[in-house]
Amino acid sequence: MTIRTYILVWAGLLALTAATVIAARLELGRLSIYTVIFIAAAKSTLVVLFFMHLLEEKRLLFKLLLPIALATLAIFIGLTFTDIAAR
Amino acid sequence: MPGAEDTMDTSRARIGMWLFILSEILLFGGLFLLYCVYRYRFPAEFRSASTVLSVADGAFNTAILITSSFAVALAVHFLRLNRPKPVVDLLTGTIALGALFLIVKGSEWADKFAQGLYPSSPVLLARSKGEVLYFGLYFVMTGLHALHVFIGICLLSVLAVLTIKGRISARHPAVLENGGLYWHLVDIIWIFLFPLFYLIA
């Protein structure tokens, strides 16, 4: 990866931060939470792929570790809400 | 054993770091789960409580952490190019940005304390249950995150010294690479904390 790539990712992260602040100011109602979470996920993806070098990772194990942890967390939260939402 | 170091695979060091990162994700994940449940149950209270926070402070701190993450990524980049001087400079810059983050965070907390808002304070307990839960989560999650930033500053200080001494180099990059991974993790956690606490429209 070149310095130019890092600079572009950095600029992208700052732009997305500005975007999330603006998005939160719009009256999006219920969509608002999904919008800011989606932007946060996009920013995290940039950090993981470029700054944490997962994009140039060759071993499958390293590529899979993070998705497995996030899937576990999603299952925790999802299963909890099958209970909470039904009360 | 000549040449043994050349064949040493840094992936073993990395797998340990990634397993640590996974455990950290689940540590904060438990708190994120609590947040989701309580926000689902008290949406209006979370919204009204969040107006106490300054979006400008939160956005400023987000930019600081993103820039510090960028600096660490560049430090690892220059280490791989075997140029220790910019590595040390970038690590010093990262430490300064981390300290600035803690100063802003500290002033935010001081501001809340000045308003009588701290865990179990009479002013806070006079508020509704949902708002008490919001501030409880706010102090625990940003506090735990700030502790991680503080540990990161200490860690990066040690790494900067080791780089100056030549113990970290292009031939031995694993420790700095892992320190960088830790700092990026701290950055990512804040990327989620910022919208969840500051940006409840």
Any chain A CB within 8 A of the CB of B181?
yes
What single-letter amino acid sits at B154?
A: C
Domain count, chain B: 1
Query: Hey, of B61, B70, B78, B189, which one would you mutate to test binding to chain A, going by the most A CBs within 10 A of its CB?
Result: B70
Task: Identify all chain A residues contacting B65, using CB atoms and an 8 Å cutoff.
Answer: none
Q: What percent of chain B has pLDDT over 90?
A: 90
Taking only the tens place, the pLDDT of each residue in B97-119 is 999 999 999 999 999 999 999 99
**Domain ranges within chain A, ordered by starting residue:** 3-85
Task: Give the domain CATH number at B100.
Answer: 1.20.120.80
Would you call A9 and B201 a contact, using CB atoms and an 8 Å cutoff? no
Supply the ipTM of this predicted assembly. 0.93
Taking only the tens place, the pLDDT of each residue in A30-82 is 788 889 999 999 999 999 999 999 998 888 888 888 888 889 999 999 999 99
CA dist B16 → A62, A65, B22, B197 (Å): 11, 11, 10, 31
Taking only the tens place, the pLDDT of each residue in B48-78 is 999 999 999 999 999 999 999 999 999 999 9
Task: Identify all chain A residues contacting B181, using CB atoms and an 8 Å cutoff.
Answer: 52
